[in-house]
Structure 1
Amino acid sequence: MFTGIVETTGFVKELNDNKENFEVTIQVNDHPTFLSDCQIGDSIACSGICLTVIEFDLKDNWFKVGISLETLRRTTIEKMWTKIGDTINLERAMGTGNQRFGGHYVQGHVDTIAEVVSAEQEGDSVNFKYKLRDLENVKYIVEKGFITVDGASLTVTFVDDDEGIFGVSMINHTRSVLCKRDIGTFVNIEVDVTGKMIAKQVELYMKKFTK
């Protein structure tokens, strides 16, 4: 479980893109303690994708993850993690104790991807619009609701249900933490799981009256 508050970024250090054994080694940027309590089997959100650590090095500050075919189908990995140096947003799983909860409940289970279609400056913020690859996911996106974009917890500012386009607004601080994504590139999208759960229950309930 994650909060969608990206802690730092990393980049592809090594890449084995054989689909039978797809593995990525990620070098952590500017966060020397990011892996300080890491264990084999831990989950780390990598641009919003919950991935399992299969190897790591505290001294050199890198970790390796294995990636399933299902993850490849759902995410931007084959589009955006294609060469050494490609950038990745990073967040460790939620801890215990007196940790503040800053974003929203994020599972790291990516639903689909979206293309960055526009970015317009407005004061200190930039208003981004994204177009979903899989239009059916737009029914879970509501104005002022939560959404996770490349691992970042954001508030939806605009939805076009017919076109499968939605918008968010990012302040300068948020943009400075995240990896830059240009217009025409792709991001991972996780819709709010609450909406999916409600939709499923309504669907099952309505089936009782259509038999």
Structure 2
Amino acid sequence: MFTGLIEHLGTVTAIQVDETGCTMTVSDATPILDDCHIGDSIAINGACLTVTAFDKETFTVWLANETLRRTDLAERKIGDQVNLERAMGAHVRFGGHFVQAHVDTTATVVDRQPDGDAVTITFEFAEPTPERPSLLAYLIPKGYVTIDGASLTLTSVDDARRRFSVMLIQHTQEKISLGKKGVGSTVNIEVDEVGKYVEKSMLAAIGGRGENTQLREMVEKIVESVLVKKGVLPN
């Protein structure tokens, strides 16, 4: 589990790809390696990955093909900066939101608009497919979204255009990779998991994806009662 508060910007220094996946090495990572162990989880651009090797300045992770398909990490090149966050410790303040670092999909930066010292960045989802259905139902203005591992607040959501926006203050622009990404760049998106659980629970309760139809029957009785009172249905 993560908070979405980026701890450090590291630099990709080695990439080895084969048919089974990819090994990636990140350097300039000393500030997050003081308590590192083999097998620990570190989120890179919002993707939870397992440390397979490390020293005082660098660490290496393995990326499975599923991770390469689902995230922007297949596009990273040597020299790219990436957002880093260690798994949340029980002793730290919880300043972001619950982030699993399980990337749902990617989006594309389509606009950047300065607003004083801040900047508003707008993103667009690709057309939904059976493999990647629309995530817009989980995005609401002033709700949470995780972009490249950073917990951010949505400022607007445009369902018709498959677009959404966030605002970065100057401090945040300097501390995360998104501050340097231009129009056309790809970013990793993880929607707030709470919305997913609420949706599944409600669908199961009304019989949409489960056998529990009690709530559905209750709603049907209420609707029928109202229609009878209005004379639409016979008493």
| TM superposition score normalised by structure 2 | 0.83
> Which of 47, 50, 53 is residue 52 of structure 1 equivalent to?
50
**Structure 2 partner of 1:170:** 168
Work out whether residues 8 and 31 of structure 2, in 8 Å CA contact, stay in contact via their aligned partners in 1.
no
Q: Matched residues in 2 for 1:120 and 1:42: separation?
A: 38
Q: Matched residues in 1 for 2:127 and 2:147: separation?
A: 15
* More deviation, 200-209/61-70: 200-209
Q: Percent identity?
A: 44
**Structure number with higher helix proportion:** 2
Query: Counterpart amino acid of 2:99?
Result: V
Question: Who wins on radius of gyration, i.e. which is larger?
Answer: 2
> Which of 66, 69, 89 is residue 70 of structure 1 equivalent to?
66
Q: Matched residues in 2 for 1:159 and 1:126: separation?
A: 16
Q: What are the within-5 Å matches in structure 2 for residues 92-103 of structure 1?
A: 92-97=86-91, 99-103=92-96
**Structure 1 partner of 2:110:** 117
* More deviation, 15-24/175-184: 15-24
> Which of 57, 80, 91 is residue 86 of structure 1 equivalent to?
80
Residues 171-203 of structure 1, C-alpha deviation per residue, up to 9 Å, x if partnerless? 000010011211101000000000011111122
| TM superposition score normalised by structure 1 | 0.92
Deviation at 1:134, TM superposition (A): 5.6
If asked which structure has higher relative contact order (CA below 8 Å, sep 6+), I would say 1
**Structure 2 partner of 1:36:** 34
Q: Matched residues in 2 for 1:21 and 1:198: separation?
A: 34
**Structure 2 partner of 1:159:** 157
- Match of 1:33, SS state, is helix
| Alpha carbons of structure 1 residues 88 and 134: separation in structure 2 relative to 1, 3 Å | farther
Q: Matched residues in 1 for 2:23 and 2:90: separation?
A: 29
**Structure number with higher strand proportion:** 1
**Structure 2 partner of 1:107:** 100
Q: Matched residues in 2 for 1:196 and 1:137: separation?
A: 10
Q: Matched residues in 1 for 2:189 and 2:14: separation?
A: 24
Work out whether residues 112 and 134 of structure 1, in 8 Å CA contact, stay in contact via their aligned partners in 2.
no
- Match of 2:79, SS state, is coil
Unmatched 5+ stretches in structure 2: 129-133, 218-235
- Match of 1:17, SS state, is strand
Q: Matched residues in 1 for 2:19 and 2:11: separation?
A: 20
Q: Matched residues in 2 for 1:182 and 1:153: separation?
A: 19
Runs of 4+ in 1 over 4 A off after TM superposition: none
Q: Matched residues in 1 for 2:168 and 2:31: separation?
A: 27
